[in-house]
Amino acid sequence: MITVLFAAPDRDWDEFSQALRDAFAAAELEVNLVGEADPLEVDYIVYAPTGWLKDFTPYTRLKGVQSLWAGVEKIVGNETLHAPLARMVDFGLREGMVEYCVGHVLRHHLGMDLDICRSDTNWAVHVPPLARDRSVTILGLGALGAAVAEALAALNFKVTGWSRRQKDLAGVRCLAGQEGLDEALRAGEIVVLLLPQTPETDNVLDAKRLALLPAGACIINPGRGPLIDDDALLAALGRGQVAHATLDVFRIEPLPKDHPFWAHPQVTVTPHIASDTRPASAARLVADNIGRSEAGLPMLHVVDRGAGY
Ligand code: NAP
């Protein structure tokens, strides 16, 4: 019998426990799924950073930790954790993110806010270019960024992507390195941030880099708040360098009520809902990964702690 500790908030237990039990049964794994346990008896931990578990020291027979989140910045530096840490990569998360990003790229591309927020009777005609004449830049070409880039390329957008290591994606101009970043930003009429939060990506959009964007660019950030220097963004919005920012993630969440983003006419705030972990699809990855580990195989999507993601 394998003991799996679910270390996430109570509301997640209500959502996930049955899906996990179903997935373990489908994978023919004999699992005792528990919300609390003697640490000495725990084989695997299903983890959310919003949960109660901070110190892994007592879990001496731990074989692996499966994060329910794709972003692991809150656990990757935890020095009490020595077992492999796997992050969440599944089709539900991917499809949710593709829908959020494609939706907001199309919204900015088509200038939909002009009509949705219209407060006058002005018959001013605004004709957007076709997608084939619109450049979109995706920062981060991982599990989510690559899927978003490919979905936008399939709609004919001119897509440029940037990652740490060189990528090769059909229909996407792939760039890497610091020079690649500058070039990607110069091309970015619409920029989507899907980078992880690491020391290297902190303030990746600072004042200097925001100044590289074409005048009137739009920014969509479902990655992490610290990727953008907030004050530099407010300044870029003020001078029209950036026409609009759609932000899903923030340095402090929930975004404080007095934060200038809330009332800013050129900022759309969404409350960290770009893509949620869906219990049914996520549970299949958890079961798959525990099954792999029990069979002596490495877990999938193990975090590179040196790189921080
Ligand atoms: P991933 O598969 O690890 O991909 C990360 C991408 O960022 C990779 O392409 C990686 O480059 C690139 N990267 C990392 N550090 C870099 C650097 N210093 N310079 C250039 N590129 C760098 O992650 P993912 O699953 O796509 O998720 C991305 C992020 O989305 C997560 O970390 C999380 O913060 C965020 N997220 C948000 C939500 C939401 O609801 N808002 C939901 C899920 C995830 P390589 O390909 O070369 O490694």
CATH number for position 209 = 3.40.50.720
Answer whether 144 contacts ligand 1 (Cβ < 6 A): yes
Number of domain units in the chain: 2
**DSSP character for 41?**
G
Q: Which of 90, 138, 99, 102 is nearest to 279 (CA)?
A: 90
Residues 160 and 71 in one domain: no
CA dihedral (219, 222, 226, 230) positive or negative? positive
- The pLDDT of residue 135 is 98
User: Quick one: pLDDT at residue 119?
Assistant: 86
Kindly list the averaged pLDDT for each block of 10 residues, start to end, along the chain of length 309. 96 95 98 97 97 97 98 97 97 98 98 90 91 98 98 98 97 96 98 98 98 98 98 98 98 98 98 97 97 98 97
Residues 183 and 283 grouped into a single domain: no
Instruction: Evaluate whether residue 307 is within a structural domain.
Output: no
In which domain, by residue range, is 284 found? 2-90+277-294
Sign of CA dihedral 45, 46, 47, 53: negative
Q: What is the DSSP letter of 130?
A: P
Residue 301 lies in a domain: no
For the Cβ of 274 lying below 6 angstroms from any atom of ligand 1, the answer is: yes
Find the catalytic residue in 104, 224, 244, 284.
224
Residues 262 and 215 in one domain: yes
CA of 198 to the centre of ligand 1 (A): 10
Residue located via tokens 């500790």: 5
Same domain, 102 and 136: yes
Q: Is the CB of 222 under 6 A from ligand 1?
A: yes
- Residues 250 and 289 occupy one common structural domain: no
Contacts of 176 (CB under 8 A, 6+ apart): 162, 163, 164, 165, 166, 167
Whole-number pLDDT of residue 125: 87
108 and 218 assigned to the same domain: yes
pLDDT at position 118 = 85
* Whether residues 181 and 78 fall in one domain: no
Specify whether 80 is located in the same domain as 187. Answer: no
* pTM tops 0.95: yes
Judgement on whether residues 109 and 133 belong to the same structural domain of the protein: yes
| Ligand 1 site, residue 198, Cβ cutoff 6 A | yes
142 C-alpha to center of ligand 1: Å? 5
* Whether residue 235 is found in the same domain as residue 264: yes
Is 87 an annotated catalytic residue? no
